[in-house]
Structures are given as structure tokens and as C-alpha cells.
Amino acid sequence: MSGNVRIELPQARKDSHLRSGGPAITVRNLDKSYDDNHVLDDLSFDFERGKVYVIMGPSGCGKSTLLRQMIGAEHPDAGEVLIDGIDIHSNSRRLRDEARRKFGVLFQSSALLNGLTVAENVALPIQRHTDLPQSTIDLMVKLKLELVGMGNALDKYPYEISGGMKKRAGLARAIALDPAIVFYDEPSAGLDPVMIGVIDKLIKDPTSKLGITSVVITHEMPSIFRIADEVLMLWNGRFVFRGTPEALRNSTDPLVRQFLKGDPEGPIGAPRQLSELSERLIGPSARDARSATP
């Protein structure tokens, strides 16, 4: 009888579920410096399961650095990161692997390997983390690529496809193992508004339908208001804002206001190199000249 047929979920899928009942991600007292550049300053926060969290902030404020500490790609100077209660920086390789299987990552560059086809790129994490037969892997890869609208590009090489398609292939790879958490580093960078809308939908839909927790680094204001349950703004190593998109829109904080308006004048200074360049080209600014006057 068909009712008796049992379908075994691949081991990878069972492993990827969140089990602790606690937050999807917990960060405690995270600190990171590069030489005398103090990038992350004693950050602590929790991310609940099943929500989209957007992390925003000026270029160079440390968003990607925070991401690297959260996924265990880099070791913090102090503090801890728990993925479903498991320390991603644990000394135990078994625990690190267990935590690692719970999330996927879409990097800023998509990070596809040029020597492999799109399908082979998406198959990589499945091959690395499971013992599934190739025929099952092929099926999983095809499903994921169809989900992101890339079902007809399986045999293309990364250099043969557009930026938007690369992002979608990177996304298919990030969700290949049905992770409970997905991290995205600037998924819309360099894409046109329509493709940004497509990517937003690909982020938002699985979050609400499958209870996935998404952590998205982005500057794209329309995206933030479309996808975020909560927004966090990183500045000077700390979160200077955390709240709903609505609260962000209504915030009177000068840092938030300047960032939302894209105003060159305000508490967020222009990047140092840019100020130095403009100084060389057009001389010290009026303000600097005033403050230099005795």
C-alpha cells in the first residue's frame, strides 16, 4: 500500500535542523581587531529562528568581518558564536562540523569555481558533507537550481553566465543542504532592480515557508524594507540601531538618518582615503580651514 512507503530524508537534511529550542544564533562579547583597527567591539546579540535579519552600515564598518566570525571562517580575539547552541569556534572538529552543516553562505563574490559547471558547483557542499550516491546528488542539485530559476543552466560554466545568474547559482549552492540558517553578504551588489527583486523573493520565500533564519548584509534600501523582520546598523564596532524596518524609517538617530538619506555630511565621516583624495584635489575643506584658523 502506498501509505506504507517510507521516504528516508537524506542525513544532511536531518542534521541541518535546529534542535536546541533556543535562538538560531547567539553572539556573546565578540571582539575582533586587525592590528590597531578595532573592527568589532564587544558585540552581543541573539537571532531568533524563522526571521530575516538585515545587517547594514557604511562600507568598511565590519559587516563582512562579523560574518566571517559568525560562520567560523575567522577566529575572533574574544567572545563566542553559537549556532543552534553549538560553538562554531569549538576545539572539537566534530562540533564545528555539526554547527557548519546548519547553515549555508552566499558570499559577496558568489565564489563559484570557474573550472566547474554550475551543477558541479552546487553539488560541492553535498559531496563534502554527505555520503549520498551521485544519482541522489544530481537530483538535489537539479531541484535547487530549478528553485532559483536556473534549471536550464546546469552545464554552463560561471564565466558563461551573467552576474545575476551567478548570484542565483551561489544561492542554490548555499541552500543545497537545506540549511536552517542562510547568510548572505551583499547578495544584490551589482544587480539591476528587477534582479534585486528576484533575489529578495528567493531570500524571503524560504524564510517564511520553511522557517529558515536569514542573515543578510545589504545596503539596498528597497530590499531592506521588502525582506527584513529586523534591521541592525553596525557602526564603530557596535550596533547603533536594532529594530523593525518601520522603526528604522522613523528613527531620529543622526547616524541612521544620514545613512538612509545617503547624506555626505553628518556623523558618518567620508572614508579617510576619500577625504585625503579630495583634499589633494581641491584643498582643505572650508570646515578644516576654519578650524585651522587660530
Ligand X SMILES: Nc1ncnc2c1ncn2[C@@H]1O[C@H](COP(=O)(O)OP(=O)(O)O)[C@@H](O)[C@H]1O
Interface ranges with ligand X (CB under 6 A): 34, 37, 39, 57, 59-65
Smallest gap from residue 8 Cβ to Mg ion (A):
40
**Which is nearer to ligand X, 60 or 151 (by Cβ)?**
60
Residue 12: contacted member of Mg ion, ligand X, none (CB under 5 to 8 Å, by partner type): none
Smallest gap from residue 107 Cβ to Mg ion (A):
10
User: Binding residue for Mg ion (CB under 5 A) from 64, 121, 130, 214?
Assistant: 64
First to last CA, the chain: 93
Q: Nearest Cα to 79, choosing from 54, 112, 43?
A: 43
Rg over CA atoms, the chain: 21
Region of 58-66, 136-144, 229-237, 275-283 interacting with Mg ion (CB under 5 A): 58-66
Residue 122: contacted member of Mg ion, ligand X, none (CB under 5 to 8 Å, by partner type): none
Q: How many CA atoms lie within 13 A of 192 on its CB side?
A: 3
**Which is nearer to ligand X, 174 or 177 (by Cβ)?**
174
| # residues contacting Mg ion (CB under 5 A) | 1
Place of cell 538560531: 24
**Which is nearer to Mg ion, 172 or 234 (by Cβ)?**
234
Residue 59: contacted member of ligand X, Mg ion, none (CB under 5 to 8 Å, by partner type): ligand X
Cell numbers placing 199:
533575489
Beta strands in the chain (DSSP E): 25-34, 37-47, 52-56, 78-83, 86-87, 103-106, 181-185, 213-217, 230-235, 238-243
